[in-house]
Amino acid sequence: QKEVEQDPGPLSVPEGAIVSLNCTYSNSAFQYFMWYRQYSRKGPELLMYTYSSGNKEDGRFTAQVDKSSKYISLFIRDSQPSDSATYLCAMSAAGASGNTPLVFGKGTRLSVIA
Amino acid sequence: GAVVSQHPSWVICKSGTSVKIECRSLDFQATTMFWYRQFPKQSLMLMATSNEGSKATYEQGVEKDKFLINHASLTLSTLTVTSAHPEDSSFYICSGGVTTQYFGPGTRLLVL
């Protein structure tokens, strides 16, 4: 079993839809959870960062962490064509500082159709 | 957020040649930077941890003699792919940061 599982998609939704992206993980030591957005042939861009369980909201994006189920989610409201990208979940046990390597999911390719 | 740059953004080389990729932190000092490799439609795989002033730490299965890492200053880490072969063709990305990690734009390497 891989440490982090993420459905690679592709996921195609109409503009304005609510998008739900998910990851599961097996390492109960993970405490720090991140979502990155990666456009084609570009480096990943940090979207959301959460520590332990709970919700975090930033504009149209909401990140949820359920440590009891080892399950994290990213919701995108009012999706736009510009949201079309690959979304990668990442996590670590030892923190999210610049000194800590991250474990990534495979990424989910999202297409938002106008 | 922090800014990480990479150079070159893409490179094509002949099999057997060596290629150097630079990773710079533009607005922070990085004692540690990470090098990842990403194959098409795959996730980022950590290759090595670059430590300023000391030897890099390589992940299992990554040949340290093939992927030379130098972190001579707090703002620059370099990855040299020595004697590159077509199977080394990939997207190489570095990352660094202070409170969290930020990624460079990546370098696409194509070995003919």
Tokens linked to A56: 């975090």
**DSSP per-residue string spanning B67-109:** EEEEEEETTEEEEEE-S--GGG-EEEEEEE-SSS-EE---EEE
Inter-chain contact B93–A101, Cβ cutoff 8 Å? Answer: no
Q: What is the pLDDT of residue A71?
A: 95
Q: Which of A88, A96, A100 sits opposite B43 (nearest CB)?
A: A88
Tokens linked to B70: 């130098």
Residues with Cβ within 8 Å of B61's Cβ and at least 6 positions away in sequence, in order, are none
Handedness of CA B40, B43, B47, B53 (dihedral sign): positive
Residue A81's SS3 state is helix
Q: Which of B34, B44, B102 sits opposite A46 (nearest CB)?
A: B102
Inter-chain contact A43–B97, Cβ cutoff 8 Å? Answer: no
Condensed to tens digits (0 to 9), the pLDDT of residues A24-59 reads 999 999 999 999 999 988 899 999 989 888 899 999
Tokens linked to A91: 């996590």
Condensed to tens digits (0 to 9), the pLDDT of residues B16-65 reads 999 999 999 998 888 899 999 999 878 889 999 998 888 999 999 999 99
